[in-house]
Structures are given as C-alpha cells and as structure tokens.
Amino acid sequence: MKRLLFLAFFSLVFLSGLDAADHTNSDSLIQSSFRLLSSKSFADKATAINSIAESGSSHAVLVLSSILEGDLYYHKKNKNMVLVTETTPRHYEITDPLTEELVSTKSKKELRKKYKKVGINNKLRGLLNEKLAALTIYSKDKSTRLRSTRKLLKNLNPSTVELLRDAAPRETDPQVKELMQVCIAVSDARSKDPEIQLGAINELAGSLYPEVRVLLEELKTAYTDSVAADPRLLPAVDSALRATSLKVSFYKQVENIFFGLSLGSVLLLAAVGLAITFGVMGVINMAHGEMLMLGAYTTFVVQQLMPNSIEYSLFVAIPAAFIVTGLAGIAIERGIIRYLYGRPLETLLATFGLSLVLQQLVRSIFSPLNRSVITPQWMSGSFEFNPALSLTYNRMYIVVFALMVLFGLLWLLKKTSFGLQMRAVTQNRNMAKAMGIRTGWVDALTFGLGSGIAGIGGVALSQLTNVGPNLGQAYIVDSFMVVVFGGVGNLWGTFFGAMILGITNKFMEPMTGAVFAKILVLIFIILFIQRYPRGMFALKGRAAES
C-alpha cells in the first residue's frame, strides 16, 4: 500500500513536471542510495533500487536501466557512481549519472583497475524490470508507455499486473490500453476461477502476441490432459487458438506478398535498364550486371567523400551513379557495340569480355573484398503493423523507388522528343535517318540511358546486398529472365515479369527452400519461353518481325 501511495505521489510529480527544487531534492535522494548500491549485499542493493525508483527524479530511469545493462560502475576508493559507455572498441567514456557531465575517458585496462561494476542477480534483475516498467508506463511519451507495457507482457508477475490494473483505466491511448488489457487477460487466464478464465480466454481470441499464443497452447495441453477442468474451457481455448492462427496465417500471406513485391522491385530495378538496351535496342549487353556494380560502387565512393552527411548521401549517389554509368555506357556503345550491330552473338561475347575486364578493374582498384555501404538512419528499422506483421523500411522504399524509376522511364519514352527519336530509330532506322535524326547519337544516348538506369538500380542494390566485384553476376541471369519473360521491348512486360517472378519465388521458398525455388523458377521460365518464345507481352505486327 505504501508503495502505491509513493507511486501515486511520484506520478503526480512526474506528470506535473518538475521544478528545480524538487529536482535537486530527488537527486540527493538518489545520491544517498548510491552508497547502498556499492555494498556487497544484494538486500542492500534491493533497498537502494527501491528508493531510487521512488525518488521521483528524472534520472531514475536512466540509473535503473544502466544497472540492468551493466553500465553503472563505482569507484573502488571513493565509491562514486559513474556511467560507462563504450565509444570506440576498448575505449570508454565515464560520465556522472546525475549531472551527465563527462568525468574522464579510460581504456579498458584503466577502467578495470579503478572502477567496479554494480553486480546484480536474477532476483534484482526482476525487481529492476518491474520498477522500470512502473516508472515508464506513466511516461508522457506514448511510445515509451507502449514499449514498457510490451516488455511487461514478456514477464508478468502479480505485482506488475496490479500495476497495470491501476494504469489501464487511466490510459487514454487506445493502442496502449488494448495492450494493457491483453496483459491483464493473460494473467486472468491463469486464474483459479473458471468464469474469469473463460472471460479472459475469449478476450484473448485472435490476439497476435507470441506470448498469448504460447499461453493458449499451454492451456490447451493442460486442459486436454486434465479431467477436473471446467468443460467449457477446452472449446474456448480451441476457438481462441483457431482465431489466432487464422489471423497469423493471413498476415503471413500479406508479408509474403510484400516480400515478393520487394524482391520483384529489386528485379525490376536490375532489369529495367536491360529492358532499354536489350528490349528496345536489341543489344545483348552481358556487362549489364557490371553497370549495376558500378552504380553500387559509386554509392560507396560518394559515402567515402561525404562521411559526415551519410543521411543525404543517397540523394547525391543517385545522380552520380546515373552519370558515371551512363558515360560508361556511351563509351561502350561508341567503342565496341556500334561495330557489332546486327551480329547479336558477337555482341554477347564482346560485352561478356567487357564484364570480366570491369570486374577485374574493380577488384584491382577497390579490393576483391566486399565494401560496406552504410544504410542511412531513415531507411533502417521497420514499421510494425501488429505483432505478426512488421515491414522493414528499406524494402518499402525500394518498392516506391522502383515504381518511380519505371514511371520516369515511361514518361521519358512517351512524352519527350528524345523518347520519340529513340522509338523512331528502333522502329525504322533508315526512315528516321531520312527525317534528319542523327541515329548514331540516338543509339549512343539510348545505350547510355539504359546503363544509367542500371547504375541507379545499383544504388538501390547497395542498400540490400553486399557490394563486391561479383554483385553484377548475381543479377545478370535474373535480369535477362525478367526481360525475356515479360516480353522484349515492353516496359510494362518487364514490370509484370519482375513482380510475378518475385512473388512466385517468395511463395515457393517456404515450401522448397530458397535455392530450389530459384531452380524451379528457372525451369518454369525455360518452359515458358519454349511455349511463348516472345514473352508475356509480345509485340505484335511489324515491329515483332525484326
């Protein structure tokens, strides 16, 4: 009871904001319990933890969580408490936990010599978790409340449930409130009274938290074995479990589709450049994978050049990669490919040789090892729809980015005069020439465009896979499959080809394993091409004949 009073007092203070007097006052309360923390006895430490938790200081959460993480140390002689954080490997910053001022920096050896960690055992760990949760479920910040309630669900005990019973009615946010009620229901489901149990189980039906699922499974086995249990309980548990598993499998499908779409977007980014060079121009560019690789390495170089603003590096890398690979593409077209028009098999061989040279060049300049490209903060992490479905941000951005690239390209082809010239040259070169179009330059620019798009794809790939000299090889076969499957010379075909292949791959993976899924997809495409040699969206009419 006394603790609850304290808590009420504390929350009042905490919620109404702290003035300076209270601040120093509560800090001195913590300061006085620090002496107990450096004691050897765990009972003393428990007392200290209790009084810190009840001090009402804004630093209490920091101090308690640092004890839990093992970051709180005390000086061996004067028993001063300090906070230790590892800044670089084996180098530590030592700060005062209350004033947050830097005391000193120490190497690992010096740290060991002068300071000692505040040791805890399992019982104290439980106490700390409980106190921290109690401190944070009344926090002003919604996400802190949500996080701490989520933590409580992991290890519920009678006292935390009491805490939640108090907190739930006062909670204003529906999401947090629902989670709190789940916690209470989980505890009620273990109650002795079958009525309460029944109510709780019905409430838990369809809940997606893994803890709830574990509990329901447990209850099911317990009731199946026991004769004494209330006969209404087993069917209730069964239907609750069914509702839950139905929902889980639904979200699993949603997740699969999302993964498929994101894989499809990766394929689309890799293949859309090829859809220009191969699909529109009819040039077999085996060095296409290396254009992706060049784009990825451009990202790496850009990040090396601007180490202090990684957050914006991608916005610089995208145009840079487009320019670098675009120029490389123009050089390749002018230097090699223009001599080989009309000899597709020779083009294939020459560009394949080029891909070997480019790979070795990158290996010689950068190193044969993978280079690490940093993912900016805004792209990492994931968005949690519910406990069974969370989608990572980088995959979401890839999907959006792939669509942007596709539509940008469509716009370029259909609405600009360059696009018009390009289509004119591919449809009837001689007539285009007669109309005064410089076909040679259009060829070079088209090839440069396809390569540049591949470079942009490489920037996106650098965020998903390892950036190494073999990056391109991994995608070249896939890219050709997508273009050929979709139908040559048709960007929408490429889009649907990529998405269908991506989703098929992801749906088959759980059944057959990743590698075998890929083999099956390859075989499927081989058979498909034999049935429909010109792909899904075949060009009809005169253009198809060439």
Partner 1 sequence: MLKYKPFIFRLLETDRGSKYFVAILLALMVLVPVCNLAVPESSAFHMPVYGVTLIGKYLTYALLAISLDLVWGYLGILSLGHGAFFGLGGYAMGMYLMRQIGDRGVYGHPVLPDFMVFLDYKELPWFWYGFDQFWFAALMVVLVPGLLAFVFGWLAFRSRVTGVYLSIITQALTYALMLAFFRNNFGFGGNNGLTDFKDILGFDLRSDGTRIALFVCSALAVMLGYFACRFIVQSRLGSLVMAIRDSEGRVRALGYRDEYYKLFVFVVAAMLAGVAGALYVPQVGIINPGEFSPINSIEMVIWVAMGGRGTLYGAALGAVVVNFAKTYFTAVAPEVWLFILGGLFVGVTLFLPRGIVGAIQKIRGMLGASRNTGLPGMAAKK
Of the residues 70, 119, 235, 344, which one makes contact with partner 1 according to CB under 8 A: 344
Interactions with partner 1, residue window 44-73 (CB under 8 A): none
* Residue 334 touching partner 1 (CB under 8 A): no
Of the residues 8, 246, 305, 357, which one makes contact with partner 1 according to CB under 8 A: 357
Q: Would you state the structure tokens that stand for residue 31, as one six-digit string?
A: 């300061």
- Inter-residue contact 447 to 377 (CB < 8 Å): no
- Taking CB atoms within 8 Å and a gap of at least 24, the contacts of 323-326 are 323/452, 324/294, 324/295, 324/298, 324/455, 325/291, 325/294, 325/295, 325/298, 325/451, 325/452, 325/454, 325/455, 325/458, 326/448, 326/449, 326/451, 326/452, 326/455
* Residue 224 touching partner 1 (CB under 8 A): no
* Nearest to partner 1 of 135, 274 (CB atom): 274
* Nearest to partner 1 of 258, 480 (CB atom): 480
Interactions with partner 1, residue window 513-542 (CB under 8 A): 515-516, 518-519, 522-523, 525-527, 529-531, 533
Of the residues 352, 393, 418, 507, which one makes contact with partner 1 according to CB under 8 A: 352
* Nearest to partner 1 of 329, 387 (CB atom): 329
CB of 541 to partner 1, least distance (A): 19
Give the orientation angle of helix 233-274 with respect to helix 471-486, to 10 degrees: 90
Site string for partner 1, 279-308 (x = CB under 8 A): -----x------------------------
* Residue 342 touching partner 1 (CB under 8 A): no
Rounding to the nearest 10 degrees, give the CA dihedral for residues 39, 42, 43, 44.
20
* Nearest to partner 1 of 228, 365 (CB atom): 365
* Residue 176 touching partner 1 (CB under 8 A): no
* Cross-strand partners of 55: none
Do strands 115-117 and 102-107 pair parallel, antiparallel, or not at all (unpaired)? unpaired
User: Which residue stretch of 67-75, 155-163, 370-378, 478-486 sits at the interface with partner 1 (rule: CB under 8 A)?
Assistant: 478-486
Q: Would you state the structure tokens that stand for residue 395, as one six-digit string?
A: 């995959």
CB of 473 to partner 1, least distance (A): 8
CB of 260 to partner 1, least distance (A): 20
* Nearest to partner 1 of 1, 365 (CB atom): 365
* Residue 349 touching partner 1 (CB under 8 A): yes
CB of 294 to partner 1, least distance (A): 15
Q: Would you state the structure tokens that stand for residue 218, as one six-digit string?
A: 């447990």
Q: How far is the CA of 287 from the CAs of 75, 436, 443, 480, in angstroms?
A: 62, 31, 17, 12
* Residue 274 touching partner 1 (CB under 8 A): no
CB of 272 to partner 1, least distance (A): 18
Task: Phi first, then psi: give them for residue 488, nearest 5 degrees.
Answer: -70, 140
Interactions with partner 1, residue window 409-428 (CB under 8 A): none
User: Which residue stretch of 38-46, 148-156, 314-322, 355-363 sits at the interface with partner 1 (rule: CB under 8 A)?
Assistant: 355-363
Q: Minimal CA–CA distance to 374: which of 416, 312, 447?
A: 312
* Residue 87 touching partner 1 (CB under 8 A): no
Task: Indicate the residue type of 237.
Answer: V
CB of 85 to partner 1, least distance (A): 43
Of the residues 364, 372, 380, 416, which one makes contact with partner 1 according to CB under 8 A: 364
* Residue 544 touching partner 1 (CB under 8 A): no
**DSSP assignment string, 75-105:** ETTT--EEEEEEEETTEEEEE-TTT--EEEE
* Residue 93 touching partner 1 (CB under 8 A): no
CB of 423 to partner 1, least distance (A): 21
* Nearest to partner 1 of 315, 532 (CB atom): 532
CA pair distance 44, 255, nearest whole angstrom? 49
Q: Would you state the structure tokens that stand for residue 344, as one six-digit string?
A: 């597709």
* Residue 511 touching partner 1 (CB under 8 A): no
Helices (H), 137-209: 142-154, 158-170, 174-188, 194-204
Of the residues 151, 346, 418, 507, which one makes contact with partner 1 according to CB under 8 A: 346
* Residue 482 touching partner 1 (CB under 8 A): no
User: Which residue stretch of 51-59, 75-83, 136-144, 356-364 sits at the interface with partner 1 (rule: CB under 8 A)?
Assistant: 356-364
* Nearest to partner 1 of 367, 386 (CB atom): 367
- Inter-residue contact 175 to 214 (CB < 8 Å): no
Site string for partner 1, 483-502 (x = CB under 8 A): -x------------------
CB of 359 to partner 1, least distance (A): 7
CA pair distance 481, 268, nearest whole angstrom? 11
* Nearest to partner 1 of 336, 539 (CB atom): 336
Assign residue 465 a region: left if phi > 0, alpha if psi is -120 to 50, beta otherwise? beta
* Residue 143 touching partner 1 (CB under 8 A): no
Establish how many alpha carbons lie within 13 A of residue 513's alpha carbon, considering only the half-sphere containing its beta carbon.
3
* Residue 355 touching partner 1 (CB under 8 A): yes
Task: Phi first, then psi: give them for residue 276, nearest 5 degrees.
Answer: -80, -55
Q: How far is the CA of 179 from the CAs of 145, 152, 272, 408, in angstroms?
A: 10, 10, 45, 44
Spell out where 327-396 has E strands.
382-386, 389-392
CA pair distance 196, 211, nearest whole angstrom? 19
Of the residues 312, 315, 339, 407, which one makes contact with partner 1 according to CB under 8 A: 339
Footprint of partner 1 (CB under 8 A): 284, 336, 339-340, 344-350, 352-361, 363-364, 473, 477, 480-481, 484, 515-516, 518-519, 522-523, 525-527, 529-531, 533
